[in-house]
Amino acid sequence: MEKVEWKVDGMDCTNCALTITKYLQKEGMKEVKVNFIGGDVNFELNGNKSKEELSKGIADLGYTVKSEELATNNKKRTTFFTNHLQRFIFCLPFTLVLMLHMLPWHIHFLMNPWIQMAICLPVFIVGMSYFGVSAVKSLLRGIPNMNVLIAIGALAAFVYSLIGTIGNYGMDYVFYETTATIITLVFLGEWVEHKAVSTTQKELNKLAGNQKVMANMIAFDEEHKELIFPVENTQLHNGDLILIKSGEQVPTDCKILWGEAYVSEALLTGESKPIHKQKKDTLIGGSLFTDGTVKAQVTAVGKDTVLSNILNLVKQAQGEKPPIQQLADKISAIFVPVVLGIAALTFLLNYFAFDISGTQSLMRSIAVLVISCPCAMGLATPAAIAVGLGRATKKGILFRNAKSLELFKNITTVVFDKTGTLTKGQLTISKLECINVSEEEFKRLVFSMEKFSNHPIAKAITNEWKINNPINWKKIEEVKGIGIKAEDKDGNVFQLGRLDGGQQVAGHGTTHDPHAAYLTKNNTLLGWFDMDDEIREEAVEVIQYLHSKNIKTILLSGDSIERSNKLATAVGIDEVYAEKTPADKLAIIEKLNAASPVAMIGDGINDAPALAKATIGISIADASQLAMQTAQVVLTNNGIKYLPLALGLGKHTFSTIKGNLFWAFIYNIVAIPVAAMGFLHPGVAALAMGFSDVVLAINSIRLNYRKVI
């Protein structure tokens, strides 16, 4: 099945997202995910309907599909107003004029109901062309949205006033200003709400804005002379050559062929310190050159780039609904019919039971319709998640799903892998001993063998020892789990790696140390060298933070007991499991998980099974390794510096969601009875409804500035 990713304009709340979801599911689409805050609509096309037909169906619901692919095929509908601000500005003068007749001194001509109707009519037409059309379409689809409440409220006030005007019942039956006020203030509220909600997307929009930039493309003419000309990065292809200069943004993922530079990857990793890059190093699209000039070859474009992968991860997480949102969604789905019932009951009880006049009973009923706000309940979770994910992404923390944000609140144990997690994974030679051979010859032999291997020890050797006259071997092979075997032209057999069994070596003990390598010639020991792995600078601080939060720390490693205990002591870890295979790690995580929720942090390769089994799997990765599927959280800055921030953001995002939901439920629980008892004019109710969502958005935005660690 083809995966479709669209941007859809016009969604204001969960009901809008639900309308589109139900429509696509009804048409047979699978894996439908709709995020109304970002406007993202994702689904799998089943082949029964074309994209054009689905786009038209969504347009019939009152929403607009923004797709470059469909732009040429679909005629763009021209509308007089393009946003709620324009509608508000148009309606405001008419509404203000209508409100004048409510002043203590009466303006004579405004006391004429026919003149009031004429002034109200433009506002009513604009309001019903939006709220009315949207309401009818949602009712036809069987999924009534909040515009049904607004449309019925405004329509009831207008029709009641029209009957009073035609029947000449007097000014007590004329409420045109109520109709105009409802429509005008709801337009204002929705515009302010839209601006507030879009602010929650600030960091993500900033990231997305870096996807389209200009690039300096290198080409050659017939005489092989180099030509440089500007192109948009969307026009680049794999293999193209580009020039990047100081101060410019890297247009797409590429590999340096010539030159060197200092590059800031703060946009992607949260690390502001520029990184030195040279020949053969990779550059991530979206990073910024602070100094230097390079020529590079494009390695990935479009959806395959690191930046696109990051945005896709964030979109997936935004589309997920954590368990806490399920109750709100169920209530939102039935909210509009329930409110319609309450409004009807309000009129009947006031008129028949409490002997309130028909006019006042109707006004109270309209106030109930207008004050009710299903959007608040639908917005509570997405707004907080958008801010939380945005702040996390800015620091290079990627949440694969929204559920992880909620799970963080229960974590009582954090399990660490050793190599590459608490240590840098960059081995250095700490000890070297030669037996019956000079140090220079020993290094030459080792270098000549290691240059054929991709093992981390081999890379450390070739980086540290630069040998200009390596040996040309007659035969060389890498024996998995043992090391390298080589044969020279004289038939001598050399082996580099572990020795057999537990053979004792003078001054070094057993041969089971995985970071010690031994060189033999025809089974005679020539020497050995030992390797050390540097501890990450932030390791101690991170462990101390976890202990301050009463979180137990465990080291789970495949390395030797001696090395693991040494590291645990150095950084202050509580408990150690050493010399464990991937299967052992999985079993240990299962056991720990059974006792209490566990977060595991590792490099995402050997630890993949354990990461997948943990309550929350956290992976450290270079940005180019974002394809890892096992971890729910990825730290792209290749370190554990922001692990406390990830934990803190998870907990505080969840608490923000709880606060939002509390406000949304309390607002409706209090506001509806207040309106039903006649303490709210419909105009005031309209303003209160419009700004209820703004309160939630502002509370969510606070998450950007709150201290979370």
Per-residue model confidence as pLDDT tens digits over 392-440: 888 888 887 777 877 888 899 999 988 778 988 777 788 888 988 899 9
Nearest to 600 by CA among 60, 406, 589: 589
Q: Residue 509 — very low, low, confident or very high, per pLDDT cuts 50/70/90?
A: very low
Which residue intervals of the chain bear CATH 3.40.1110.10? Answer: 425-534
Q: Which residue has the higher pLDDT, 506 or 66?
A: 66
Query: Residue 118: what pLDDT?
Result: 95
Which amino acid would we find at residue 550? N
What is the pLDDT at residue 21?
86
The C-alpha atoms of residue 170 and residue 111 are separated, in whole angstroms, by 10
pLDDT of 679 above 80: yes
Tell me how far apart the alpha carbons of residues 336 and 207 are, in angstroms, rounded to a whole number.
Answer: 36
Residues of the chain with CATH 2.70.150.10: 214-248+253-300
Q: Are 13 and 146 in contact (CB under 8 A)?
A: yes
The dihedral through the CA atoms of 609, 612, 614, 618 has a sign that is positive
What's the CATH architecture for 2-71?
A: 2-Layer Sandwich (3.30)
Tokens encoding 436: 């019956």
Q: Which residue of the set 417, 513, 559, 607 is catalytic?
A: 417
Q: What is the mean pLDDT of residues 586-604?
A: 89
Residue 74 has pLDDT above 60, yes or no: no
pLDDT at 512 over 50: no
Architecture of domain 425-534: 3-Layer(aba) Sandwich (3.40)
pLDDT greater than 70 at residue 96: yes
The one-letter amino acid at 473 = W
Distance (Å, whole) CA 677 – CA 365: 9
417 is catalytic: yes
Which residues neighbour 697 within 8 Å (Cβ) at sequence distance 6 or greater? 193, 196, 197, 199, 200, 379, 383
90 pLDDT more than 50:
yes
Output 156 or 480, whichever has higher pLDDT: 156
- Of 237-241, 398-402, 470-474, 644-648, the one with minimum mean pLDDT is 398-402
Look-up of token digits 């502002």: 698
% of the chain residues with pLDDT over 90? 30
Comma-separated ranges of CATH 3.30.70.100 domains in the chain:
2-71
Residue 349 is given by DSSP the state I
Written as one string, the DSSP assignment of 89-132 is HHHHHHHHHHHGGGSSSPPGGGG-HHHHHHHHHHHHHHHIIIII
- pLDDT classification of 624: cutoffs 50, 70, 90: very low
Q: Would the pLDDT of 655 be above 80?
A: yes
Does the pLDDT at position 668 exceed 70? yes
Choice among 239-248, 275-284, 474-483 with the minimum mean pLDDT: 474-483
Local confidence band at 322 (pLDDT 50, 70, 90 cut-offs): low
Residue 421 in tokens? 């997690």
Q: What is the pLDDT of residues 21-52, one digit of tens each?
A: 888 988 889 888 888 777 888 898 887 788 88
Give 2's strand partners. Answer: 45
Q: What is the pLDDT of residues 237-277, one digit of tens each?
A: 999 999 999 989 999 999 999 999 999 887 777 666 788 99
Binned at pLDDT 50, 70 and 90, residue 158 comes out as: very high
Q: Which helix (H) or strand (E) holds 477?
A: strand 475-479
Highest average pLDDT, of 122-131, 398-407, 454-463, 612-621, comes from: 122-131
Lowest mean pLDDT among 420-429, 531-540, 566-575, 657-666: 420-429
Candidates 3.40.50.970, 1.10.730.10, 2.70.150.10, 3.40.50.300; CATH matching 214-248+253-300: 2.70.150.10
Q: How many angstroms separate the CA atoms of 599 and 57, rounded?
A: 44
Residue 69 has pLDDT above 70, yes or no: no
What is d(CA 183, CA 652) in angstroms, rounded to the nearest whole number?
37
Under the banding of pLDDT at 50, 70 and 90, the label for residue 77 is low
Highest mean pLDDT among 201-205, 610-614, 617-621: 610-614
pLDDT for 605 beyond 80: no
Q: Is 487 left (phi over 0), alpha (psi -120 to 50) or beta?
A: beta
Residues 6+ away with beta carbon under 8 Å from 113: 161, 164, 165, 171, 174, 176
Alpha-carbon span 228 to 644, nearest angstrom: 46
With bands split at pLDDT 50, 70 and 90, how would you rate the model's confidence at 506?
Answer: very low
94, pLDDT greater than 90: yes
Average pLDDT over residues 473-493: 85
